[in-house]
Amino acid sequence: MLKLPPQPDNCELCERPVTKLTRHHLIPKHLHRKKRFQKLFTKEDLITRTLWVCRPCHNAIHKARSEPDLGLYYNTREKLLELEELRTFVEWLKDKPEGFVPKK
């Protein structure tokens, strides 16, 4: 049985302490059945490659790129932070209090 990383105390992008984090699958779950992704990644990678992020960061990730692009090109924390719009958002968010929710 594959073991998922435990939930940390802080968002793994903005690093704020947040009690309710969400699990972001770096390779989106609905792509796990696609042959292309099965050839590129091990079953363990598909399942365990995740980040624990706050809701604002999770929304920003999915706003930044399509799910196929996220799975193919932005499937690590470092790669995600290469996206200028995401990096700028995370820098802006990291000093905000825990319950802060950005306006849309």
Q: Express each pLDDT in 68-102 by its tens digit.
A: 999 999 999 999 999 999 999 999 999 998 888 88
DSSP label at residue 74: -
CA 55 to chain CA centroid, nearest Å: 10
Q: How much is the CA Rg of the chain, to the nearest whole Å?
A: 14
Question: Could you tell me the pLDDT band of residue 4, with boundaries at 50, 70 and 90?
Answer: low
The answer on pLDDT for 1 being more than 70 is no
Give the helix/strand (H/E) hosting 44: helix 43-48
Helices (H) and strands (E) in the chain, counts: 6, 2
**Contact by Cβ (8 Å): 80, 86:** yes
pLDDT value of position 60: 97
Reported as a single tens digit per residue, the pLDDT across 11-70 is 999 999 988 899 999 998 889 889 998 999 888 888 888 999 999 999 999 999 999 999
pLDDT value of position 74: 96
pLDDT value of position 35: 93
d(CA 53, CA 9): 10
pLDDT value of position 101: 82
